[in-house]
Structure 1
């Protein structure tokens, strides 16, 4: 077993292979061509292994997004400023949105596939809930008079996969970050 996660070495290897295969298929062929069968074949594991581990295509996309968001989660929980807990809420919020912009721009196909797979209940997705809880708490601290719950959803809606693709299509990935930062600043100053 690996000490950090309690996961057997072969299970960890299979998980990494499955997530890499799903990411490869997403990048090369788009979400419509990501099935548990194809992922298993590319990963070199049985379909049952993929199914037992992730349950469904949606579960696979949940796990892949969570994997990509791990560094960000660790930074907001225990990292240094401006993402970490010792920074003022406004600075933390803007730094978080900048990091999330970069994550979204680097993972457009995954963000869009995840949204489509989770369309029935995207607000229940564990990664989305974690992000929303963080954004809501920072807004509530910075602007106690605001509806932080609603404003958190508004800011996170800016990371819609199709919108991210559109905003970064001209080769200016920083445009997304600048625009979301401006929106957040306006909301915090209102």
Structure 2
């Protein structure tokens, strides 16, 4: 059975080379700020300073802080999407579907260490929490892997249930407030997947 094709998130017109480089420079600066000081440090001024450009450049590029955060989230999700669509196994094609599903969860949990606060902020925006492109893509990818593995039942509901433990707000609460380690979370994710799919 041919897997359902997945949509590409955040599709945009092709940019000129210098525009694409400037965008990547700004997003890398934003990601570094979040990694070093948390999402509260992600201001237009701070990104401009870190990237070595004027604040007007950041505003022209992203419009607002929320636009910058969405672009950063999209940037992060694109990287994950590239890995699970075209990267090496077990996250990418070539591994058994349940192994790929386990690797997908592990990759999402690993993302939280750097992008968790940005993901949490996006989850808290009503328009993105359940209907955003990143979540829709994740649901479709999980459904595709479950179908490929021969799992039956309501795959859409099952995919939503499986993705719930990977929400940034929950993962960050478990790590920061409850003291759980990322290793414990990834082991728990694999256990859940194999129990639910009986694989």
Match of 1:31 in 2: 39
Distance in 1 separating the partners of 2:66 and 2:186: 27
Match of 1:125 in 2: 132
Structure 1 gaps of 5+ residues are: none
1:160-175 matches, within 5 Å, as 160-169=167-176, 170=179, 172-175=181-184
1:185 paired with 2:194, answer: yes
Whether contact under 8 Å (2:31, 2:114) holds in the other structure is no
Distance in 2 separating the partners of 1:9 and 1:178: 42
1:1-150 matches, within 5 Å, as 6-116=14-124, 118-150=125-157
Distance in 2 separating the partners of 1:123 and 1:165: 18
Match of 2:7 in 1: none
Distance in 2 separating the partners of 1:19 and 1:158: 27
How far did residue 33 of structure 1 move? 4.6
1:82-113 per-residue CA deviation (whole Å, 9 max, x = no partner) reads: 22233222121112112222122343222223
1:25-57 per-residue CA deviation (whole Å, 9 max, x = no partner) reads: 434554345344543454344455334433443
Q: In structure 2, do the counterparts of structure 1 residues 56 and 119 end up closer, same or farther at CA, with 3 Å as the change threshold?
A: farther
Q: In structure 2, do the counterparts of structure 1 residues 96 and 29 end up closer, same or farther at CA, with 3 Å as the change threshold?
A: closer
SS at match of 2:90: coil
How far did residue 165 of structure 1 move? 1.8
Q: In structure 2, do the counterparts of structure 1 residues 27 and 75 end up closer, same or farther at CA, with 3 Å as the change threshold?
A: closer
SS at match of 2:88: coil
Whether contact under 8 Å (2:34, 2:114) holds in the other structure is no
Q: In structure 2, do the counterparts of structure 1 residues 115 and 57 end up closer, same or farther at CA, with 3 Å as the change threshold?
A: farther
Distance in 2 separating the partners of 1:29 and 1:102: 18
Higher relative contact order (CA 8 A, sep 6+): 2
Match of 2:162 in 1: 155
Whether contact under 8 Å (2:26, 2:48) holds in the other structure is yes
